[in-house]
A and B are shown apart, each in its own frame.
Chain A
Amino acid sequence: MLERTGVPTPEQLALCLPGPERARRGAVAVFECFEKIPCDPCYEACSQGAVLPFTDINDLPQVDHDRCNGCGNCVQHCPGLAIFVVDCTWAPGKALLKLPYELLPLPEAGEALSCYDREGKRVGEGTTVRVVRGRPFLGTPVVWVELELDRCGQVRHVRPREGGAGDGAAG
């Protein structure tokens, strides 16, 4: 379970997914936030009203996927790095994933990436589409990754394909 492994269970993940019908309409945020902690910046970050107001700061975020436009602003602001934007309509056979990324060096547009799952296992390859740096220092950079469509539910981390681990302190 999550509290023993740090990896959410398939049951937990099923709860945070948008419906298939919403997924077919393009980019949408997936909130992998399963533990009640005192935290609500995702609510403040969303200008679309897709994150419903918290009555208690410890509440789990409640997301109205129909209002979410997949902008990814919440991805930059979530201190838990727990939000990912998935677009299954990106290109034929390809999905786009917007991932929070706090290592240096940041990948560059066009750069080849290795993709990793929630346990850090390498599960495929992808390409950097762009990097949104956000507010200097404060926001978490967001990397847009193009990858195989059937991998978009599994991949949650990337690394530049050559060079391996990031070097130097990241913000």
Chain B
Amino acid sequence: MTRVEVAVVGAGPAGLCAAVAAAGQGARVLVLDDAHHPGGQLTKQTHKFFGSRRQRAGTRGIELAGVLAGEAREQGVEFWPASTALGYYPADGVLTVDRGGRFLKVRPDALVIATGASERMLAFPGNDLPGVYGAGAVQTLMNVYGVRPGRRVLMVGAGNIGLIVSYQLVQAGVEVAAVVEAAPRIGGYAVHASKLRRLGVPILVSHSVKAAYGSPAVEMASIWQLDERWEGVAGSERRLSCDAIGLAVGLSPLTDLLWQAGCAMRYVAELGGHVPVRDEVGETSVPGVYVAGDAGGVEEASSAMATGRLAGLGASRRLGYAAGYEEAVEETRADLAALRQGPTAGKIRRGLQLLREGAG
């Protein structure tokens, strides 16, 4: 049995910031992640981030991962790579972990769950063919392992992820046949869409993939137009030759540990699915269990860092490390409010409101 004061599951921006904040307050912190390197989603982000200087805007995600991991090291945070949290048992306060094949028990006084989000799948004939990937997987293959997923790719979804991954495909020398988006407008930032259009990549709104064909792997896709009720328009089908299809149709919070720990959960579509009910620093209905980052609602790295810091402050205060707590929380909440102020964050604001009101 390993005893620690604060255990953090997930070493993405949320988990790392939670760890840095808690350790900065004086707590003994352990971070574990099932990946071999800290950084979470950041390790595959080669593009520059938005936000302000406080959130390190203009920095590429991959570099940010290194900066945050370095801060955690400086604060004496312990990191376990290749370690998967399997379950948390509030009655005994035990977190079970598979550390590189060994089954271990950890007993933290406070637990931060920062497991991020997982990619959604889309139902269409042929979606089980080799060559159909989640966009995140495409990004991991290219940017972490240097492997091209195909020669000509159809991207499904024009949110920020679909747009950014398409751009990175072009950077890797892969042709992007088109980006199709079911909604009547591009979901991601206009600047990302403009960047892609300049490179000659078509973006088709009110369009989706109808089917994928090929044997033994994807050779062709058919796309079609959608009407106002998001139903396919007969006769609008078009065939595109492609050897890979990237699905960027949204993320859902990865909440298994939160469910298993018995946290009260609520379905809020605006936040990506079921999320835990929590207070202003992320403490769930199970005392001593905190949530941070995309696991609590799909947002951005900048907000994940802020919610992580809040959870780290809350968790360490629980143990009595309370120096400067009020000011630090207030400052972080102000940063978060500023990030969530703009029109592009309207959905998040609505979702958080619904979560607080207990609707849904």
Main secondary structure of the interface of A (DSSP, over half): loop
Contacts of A49 in B (CB 8 A): none
Contact among B51, B184, B199 for A157, CB-based, below 8 A: B199
Contacts of A35 in B (CB 8 A): 189-191, 344
Output the nearest chain A residue to B201 by Cβ-Cβ distance: A120
Contacts of B201 in A (CB 8 A): 120
Is the CB of A57 closer than 8 A to any CB of chain B?
yes
Cross-chain contact A36 with B344 (CB below 8 angstroms): yes
Residues of chain B in range 183-203 having any CB-CB distance to chain A below 8 Å: 184-186, 189-201, 203
Contact among A8, A138, A169 for B59, CB-based, below 8 A: A138
A155 CB to nearest chain B CB (Å): 10
Is the CB of A19 closer than 8 A to any CB of chain B?
no
Cross-chain contact B190 with A39 (CB below 8 angstroms): no
Q: A6-B194, A77-B58, A120-B200 are in contact. Are A58 and B50 (CB under 8 A)?
A: no
CA gap between A45 and B53 in the complex, in Å: 11
Is the CB of B173 closer than 8 A to any CB of chain A?
yes
Stretch of B70-78, B263-271, B287-295, B335-343 contacting A (4+ beta carbons < 8 Å): B335-343
Contact among A33, A56, A121 for B191, CB-based, below 8 A: A33
Most buried by A among B49, B52, B338: B52
CA gap between A168 and B169 in the complex, in Å: 10
Residues of chain B in range 159-173 having any CB-CB distance to chain A below 8 Å: 168, 170-173
Residues of chain A in range 50-80 having any CB-CB distance to chain B below 8 Å: 56-58, 77, 79-80
Contacts of A170 in B (CB 8 A): 171
Contact among B170, B186, B205 for A103, CB-based, below 8 A: B170
Output the nearest chain A residue to B56 by Cβ-Cβ distance: A41
B350 CB to nearest chain A CB (Å): 16
Chain A interface size band reads 35 or more
Is the CB of B356 closer than 8 A to any CB of chain A?
no
A99 CB to nearest chain B CB (Å): 9
Is the CB of B46 closer than 8 A to any CB of chain A?
yes
Is the CB of A125 closer than 8 A to any CB of chain B?
no
Output the nearest chain A residue to B55 by Cβ-Cβ distance: A38
CA gap between A32 and B195 in the complex, in Å: 11
Residues of chain B in range 307-357 having any CB-CB distance to chain A below 8 Å: 338-339, 341-345
Cross-chain contact B142 with A169 (CB below 8 angstroms): yes
Q: A36-B343, A41-B53 are in contact. Are A81 and B190 (CB under 8 A)?
A: no
CA gap between A166 and B191 in the complex, in Å: 21
Contact among B50, B170, B171, B173 for A39, CB-based, below 8 A: B50
Cross-chain contact A120 with B199 (CB below 8 angstroms): yes
Is the CB of B47 closer than 8 A to any CB of chain A?
yes
Is the CB of B235 closer than 8 A to any CB of chain A?
no
Contact among A57, A104, A117 for B339, CB-based, below 8 A: A57
Is the CB of A102 closer than 8 A to any CB of chain B?
yes
Contacts of A17 in B (CB 8 A): none
Which 8 pairs between the two chains have the least Cβ-Cβ distance? A120-B200, A80-B191, A6-B193, A58-B342, A79-B48, A41-B58, A157-B198, A39-B50
Can you identify 17 A-B contacts, CB atoms within 8 angstroms? Answer: A2-B190, A6-B193, A6-B196, A35-B191, A37-B191, A39-B51, A41-B53, A41-B57, A44-B53, A58-B344, A119-B200, A156-B198, A157-B198, A157-B199, A166-B170, A166-B171, A170-B171
